Amino acid sequence: MIKAIIPAICFVAIMTANAQGEPPFPQATISNGRITAQLYLPDPDHGYYRGTRFDWSGSILSLKTKGHEYFGQWFDKYDPKLHDSIVGPVEEFLKDDTSIGYGEDKTGDTFIRVGVGIVRKPAGETKYQRFNTYQIVDPGRWSVRQGTGWIEFTHELTGSSSGSGGYAYRYTKTVRLKKGQDVMVIEHALKNTGTKPLATAQYNHNFFVIDGKPSGPGNRVQFTFPLKSEQFNGGGAAEVHGNEIVYLKELQTGQSAYGEFQGFGTKASDYDIRLEHGVAGAGVHITGSLALSKLVFWSIRTTFCPEAYVDINVAPGNELKWAYTYQFYDLPQAASGTHPQP
């Protein structure tokens, strides 16, 4: 069930059909005069994304600023229940390749997906399959509020829900565009309203599609620490140079670059990432308020994605708040050595 609590004077939600003639999907637009962002709204019946891998809130189909587009469709096949048929800076709650409550309910075989609801694993499954789409037993309750330059999503899962296993929460995500700046902040608050601790991790997959240009020479992803990895496969196109991942060739269809990295410390200041697309002439600087717990990089021809994990541990009755800040900039500024700071 989704309940929209949005002042009519501020609401710019519309139902639109995509270019492939698919059914219309609920969405909303926010703007601060410099950035304009279109977001899909969570809806268990009509939403653009109805899979069980990613959190349903905050999916941005378009973000335009300074003459550049930062997001868009990066995949070929669309299916609302496919695990990765989703766009924009999307987030997943996952730790040690499993989900909260998985395998605990021996009777009903249900577990929870934060930002999705209560789901059921098929009989006989013994290990969580993150790329599968599970049956949704209870989608919880969604509510949405919006202003001119911000939108807030709240997802509530109650402890009285059948199959919750004592897990319950109120999860709030706010996408906010800073006034007069080329800056977006994604704010989170997770309140544990159940009887069991919420212990997991979260990362943002990002899925940048900058001006629709392919991943290739001129692309780079920069960190504040030297990257250490036992294994990095650059697909013959990308390499690790110190604290950077750089592209020497264009990734072709079917090729990918992937690696898991160490080198970061225990301070939140290490959550500091820059992505630059040389052909598009655009970049984005991402910082987080929590320390990194894991770092993954994945890219194909149509997108390049740093996946920075943070640990989430919330005891019953407690609440955790964290945020990610995105500053968008033109590449000539970065090339001159005067990186703008959020």
Per-residue pLDDT of the chain in tens (342 residues, 90 and over written 9):
444 443 322 323 333 444 444 548 999 999 999 999 999 999 999 999 999 999 999 999 999 999 999 999 999 999 999 999 999 999 999 999 999 999 998 778 999 999 999 999 999 999 999 999 999 999 999 999 999 999 999 999 997 766 778 999 999 999 999 999 999 999 999 999 999 999 999 999 999 999 999 999 999 999 999 999 988 999 999 999 999 999 999 999 999 999 999 999 999 999 999 999 999 999 999 999 999 999 999 999 999 999 999 999 999 999 999 999 999 999 975 443 444 443
Q: What is the reported pLDDT for 159?
A: 73
Contacts of 84 (CB under 8 A, 6+ apart): 51, 53, 54, 75, 131
Q: Are 83 and 52 in contact (CB under 8 A)?
A: yes
- Which pLDDT belongs to residue 333? 55
**Residue 275 confidence (pLDDT):** 97
Q: How far from 278 is each of 7, 34, 99, 103, 324, CA to CA, in Å?
A: 41, 22, 38, 46, 24
Phi, psi (deg, nearest 5) at residue 310:
-130, 145
305: left (phi over 0), alpha (psi -120 to 50) or beta: beta
Helix then strand then coil, in percent of the chain rounded to 5, is: 5, 45, 50
Segments of 115-182 assigned E as strands = 117-120, 135-138, 141-146, 150-157, 169-177
Side-chain-side CA neighbours of 189 within 13 Å: the count stands at 13
Confidence (pLDDT) at 10: 33
Residue 331: helix, strand or coil by DSSP? Answer: helix
* Token duo for residue 101: 């409550």
φ and ψ at 170, to 5 degrees? -125, 115
Measure the CA–CA gap between 26 and 31, rounded to whole angstroms: 18
CA distance 290 to 117: 25
* CA angle centred on 79, ends 73 and 80, rounded to 5°: 90
Cβ neighbours of residue 200 closer than 8 Å, sequence gap 6 or more: 93, 94, 95, 99, 100, 114, 312
pTM of the model: 0.90
Residue matched to tokens 């929460």:
169
